[in-house]
Amino acid sequence: MLLPRTPSLRLDGRRALVTGGGRGLGAAAAAALAQAGAKVFPTARSLGEIEALVDAIRVEGGDAQAIGLDVTDIAAVRKCLAALPPFDILVNNAGTNRPKPMIEVTVEDYDVVDGLNLKASFFVAQAVVSQLSAAGRPGSIIHISSQMGHVGAANRTLYCATKHGLEGLTKAMAVELGPLGIRVNSIAPTFIETPMTRPFLEDETFRSSVLSKIKLGHLGTVEDIMGAIVYLASDAAALVTGTSLRVDGGWTAE
């Protein structure tokens, strides 16, 4: 009997763009893709962080190149990507949060959070997809969303709004781009210990509240997300599009 073969999780020969790649989930995504064989291009406004990441990837034998880029500058994004060959993989990771009561959210808060979490994600994806489409190539777009893209939470109305929007964008892009062979999915993590979340999690009351909702009883680590990224980027997920992979320890299960 000839057994079927598991599709490869290797990404050799593929080019991957990772926004917000200097730290936390972005750095982990870049490392995961490089370890799977992709040539990785992490981006961030600060070149120092991503250059250190690129050096670490190269020490391990991986292939990486830093790109200094403010993804909220749409004109700069278009100019930068137009000068580069198409990317087979995009991890739209750059994001931010300004948690506060809904009635205290300012117009500036809204513009900053929406501008990075949703607007920048849309136009970075547009630039990557435009090149793939022109070249007639398939690809994998991965939006880093959140469990807050599936539920609501006090003091996170703005963040929830942008992440729910990102989930809607994922589905609509999957429908539109499927005929082009471009898959679009999201990853929705629970609270992961990163530089962005650490200040909130240092509040013991808040930390206890978070842990009470995670059914597995512990916070996530960046390593918990790395396998999900490689899976969605690889041929093992060839029939997966329009899906949100919830890496949330069971938070949204009830």
Catalytic residue status for 159: yes
The answer to whether 118 and 112 have CB atoms below 8 angstroms apart is no
Non-local (6+) Cβ contacts of 238 within 8 A are 7, 183
DSSP-derived secondary structure letter, 63: E
User: Which of 159, 213, 215, 231 is an active site residue?
Assistant: 159
Pairing of strands 182-189, 139-144: parallel
Query: Residue 41: left if φ>0, alpha if ψ -120 to 50, beta else—which one?
Result: beta
Residue 137 tokens read as 């190539």
Task: Please pick, among 163, 171, 213, 231, the residue that the annotation labels catalytic.
Answer: 163
Residues 250, 254: Cα–Cα separation, whole Å: 8
Amino acid at 195: P
Q: Which residues touch 76 (CB under 8 Å, ≥6 apart)?
A: 69, 70
Per the CB < 8 A criterion, the answer to whether 124 and 71 are in contact is yes
- Angle at the Cα of 99 (from 94 to 100), degrees rounded to 5? 155
94 neighbors 46 (Cβ within 8 angstroms):
no
Rounded distance between C-alpha atoms, residue 53 and residue 31, angstroms: 8
Catalytic residue positions, numbered: 159, 163
